[in-house]
Structure 1
Amino acid sequence: MKEINIAKVLVKKRKEKGITQEELANYIGVSKASVSKWETEQSYPDVTFLPQLAAYFNISIDELMDYKPQMTKEDIRKLYRKLSSDFTKKPFDSVMEDCRIINKKYYSCFPLLLQMGILMINHVELVKDPQGSASLIEEARTLFIRVKEESDDISLTKQALYMEALCSLALRDPNTALELLDGTFAPALPPESILASAYQMTGRADEAKAVLQVGIYQNIVVLFNFFPAYLMLCTDNPAKFDEALRRAFVVAEAFDMKRLHPAVLAGLYISAAQGYIIQNNHDQALDMLQQYAQIATSDIYPLTLHGDAFFDLLDGWLDKLDLGSGLPRDEKTVRKSMAEVIVHNPAFSVLSEEQRFKNIAEKLQATAEKIK
């Protein structure tokens, strides 16, 4: 992809203005041959001529050079999906080199840099050595820091701050994560209820319902992000552990999470199984892994964000998300990781000789291999 496309712009603008190469050359003070070379990409105008050319055609220098330092949300989505797919088909280092070239070219496109950092984090498992993983996480963190410090978009800076803290944890630097998030723990002030009331007062009942559905949906997903961590903190208190798990399953059943958002429910089963392993309750751990396998090998692919009969007004909101309704990783990568998180998880090594565990592992691996 060319960084400078001045040739086609000159041709287009000159023809729009209805002038010859010689007339343009006379205005700039160069030969007709020079203009001809500019328009046929044999050479570029001297940098001192750029302001004159831009002023003559009444355009900016960026427009003259056809330089686009920003990407649209749709372009970012397409690029993310392409690179995510490339990670499953091409050598890792080759795809990362492509990522670095893109980051350098669009270093001031902060929505893109945020997603490129997220792309790296979501594929760090492809790096097999710990030093390489740490290096990749650090590289992603530098992108998040740039977005946090340079962007004027509050939403972007908040996401970048969160991702920077997540990188710090992954790099075993909890103190930095605590410093970054210090003061962000405040009472939730959801705007959805105010927006819904405003929509209702202006006679837009459907929009009010849609806003509240988005609020309910997001908070349910957040809730299921809390449950796994809380379970692991309760492993020393089996009664508390079981009660937390019971309540989580009640919510999951009420909102049909198995169909609405199987990925978050799968994460709950993994944490529950790990907790039971810590409690030396292998039968219950296998029960949880059995439930996980039922989800992971069912007809849930490709995984996408979606509504259902209850959440029937989410489409507009999902379309506005940075990646739309798609998930951050390619389907092949998702299937593979759904198997590896069980089969190669050291926490479950104590179950490796159990026939039930072997059956679960075989089922997961068979599903992972369905897409070549």
Structure 2
Amino acid sequence: MELNIGSVISNVRRGKGLTQEALADAVGVSSAAVSKWETGASYPDITLLPPLARALGLTVDALLDYHAQPTDQELHELSERLGKVFDEQGYAAGRAACEQMLHEYPSYGPLKLVIGSLYYRYLSFALGGKADPDAMIEDVVQQSLTLFEQAEQESKDGNEGQMAKALRISALTMAGRYDEAEELLDSLPGRPFISRPEQLYQTLYLARGDLDKAEQMDQRALFEQYSEAATSLLNLSAVSRRRGDMEAAQRFTDAYCALTELFQLDPMAGLQMQLTLAEERGDNERALDLFEQYIDAVIAHTFDYTDNPFFFAVQTRVPTKNELNAMNRLVLRAAEEDEGFAAIRGEKRFADALDRLRKALDD
């Protein structure tokens, strides 16, 4: 780990109007030694740290640029910086940068939450050119699980602990470790007496005239409730389809599509479910129509709600182009390999749609 002590010495010395010779005389070393410290060619001997800190009017912690842990703002900036390494330099470089930060803050749960989520988010980056992608997926998921578990143990905040547990459940489910996921779910605490305390805040802000706060909180609440309803409709459609009740599956899927259209949100999941139902009915023409619409929706989506009339105050971060491409690569891989598309994979319209997706990724 590289120390910033040289830049600290240089900046503080100049700020105090001291020459290198004056600082050297104050602590009993040569000016050449001070020059080497400031350029990073060497570090001060540990016995010189107290007198050097006194000469500069600093604590030893400030001299070493030591922080027990990042602030919330620094953690956010660190997440953005690490994400940019994944985006611009690839998965191996991103993971190396993350591991360096873990060595610097080895017992800081919130950082482990951030890094575990980054591993999860950039999973598709890890698969590029791998001879055994399943083994890589298992490795990345296990790394994320380990970090989420450590974050839960190290968290001093109940909300962070619950977030870490929720992420573990998601990763275990993705890995097909359903019994472990269910065991964790069963361990979650029951709902409090006031199941949605945020409603009290919404009423308070509106009554007090804090319209911006009320608007933002109400939009978030609406988005959460929309997400819950949408997820339930998709799951009910899947349950009905697996039971062979195609009429019910279609009804739930249509309701999901109507909900997303009402709130002007991404139609991809609804198109994907409609496509699955058409394939299971053997309606290949309908399936091809839906597949083309699905791929076009994948290419067009941005997950940017800033212009959405219902949820413009919800957005905290818009995914980067590289993050969107990472998700789209997974879509492309699934379309190329999923046996569910076997009936239409040989059709020209299917191949043309995938070519449009590949071109969008190249562009």
| TM-score for both structures, normalised by structure 2 | 0.81
Amino acid at match of 1:156: E
Which residue matches 1:77? Answer: 80
The superposition leaves residues 266-287 of structure 1 with CA deviations (integer Å, 9 ceiling, x where unpaired) of 1232234335545656565445
Residues of 2 paired with 1:119 and 1:178: CA distance?
Answer: 24
Residues of 2 paired with 1:179 and 1:209: CA distance?
Answer: 37
The superposition leaves residues 162-213 of structure 1 with CA deviations (integer Å, 9 ceiling, x where unpaired) of 2222222233322221222224374483343211111122222343122111
The 1:284–1:370 alpha-carbon spacing in structure 2 relative to 1, beyond 3 Å, is closer
Deviation at 1:64, TM superposition (A): 0.9
Residues of 2 paired with 1:306 and 1:104: CA distance?
Answer: 37
> Of the two structures, which has the highest relative contact order with CA contacts closer than 8 Å and spacing of 6 or more?
1
The answer for unaligned runs of 5 or more in structure 2 is none
Which residue matches 2:156? Answer: 152
**1:85·1:330 contact (CA, 8 Å) conserved in 2?**
no
The superposition leaves residues 234-262 of structure 1 with CA deviations (integer Å, 9 ceiling, x where unpaired) of 211223212211221221222122xxxx2
Residue 138, structure 1, aligned to residue 142, structure 2? yes
Which residue matches 2:315? Answer: 318
Deviation at 1:106, TM superposition (A): 4.8
Which residue matches 2:254? Answer: 246
Which residue matches 1:225? Answer: 231
Q: Give the root-mean-square deviation of aligned CA atoms.
A: 3.2
**2:113·2:148 contact (CA, 8 Å) conserved in 1?**
yes
The answer for unaligned runs of 5 or more in structure 1 is none
Query: Alignment partner of 2:318: what SS?
Result: coil
For residues 1-372 of structure 1, what are the structure 2 equivalents within 5 Å?
3-19=2-18, 21=20, 24-25=23-24, 28=27, 30=29, 34-67=33-66, 70=70, 71-87=74-90, 92-107=91-106, 110-125=109-124, 126-127=126-127, 128=130, 129=132, 130-184=134-188, 186-187=190-191, 189-235=195-241, 236=243, 237-257=245-265, 262=266, 265-278=267-280, 285-286=287-288, 288-297=290-299, 299-300=300-301, 302-312=302-312, 314=313, 317-319=314-316, 324-326=317-319, 330-353=323-346, 355=347, 358-372=348-362
Residues of 2 paired with 1:138 and 1:149: CA distance?
Answer: 17
The 1:187–1:43 alpha-carbon spacing in structure 2 relative to 1, beyond 3 Å, is closer
Deviation at 1:338, TM superposition (A): 3.5
The 1:329–1:158 alpha-carbon spacing in structure 2 relative to 1, beyond 3 Å, is farther
Residues of 1 paired with 2:295 and 2:7: CA distance?
Answer: 56
**2:202·2:217 contact (CA, 8 Å) conserved in 1?**
yes
The 1:99–1:75 alpha-carbon spacing in structure 2 relative to 1, beyond 3 Å, is closer
Residues of 2 paired with 1:285 and 1:331: CA distance?
Answer: 25
Residues of 2 paired with 1:23 and 1:93: CA distance?
Answer: 46
Residues of 2 paired with 1:185 and 1:271: CA distance?
Answer: 33
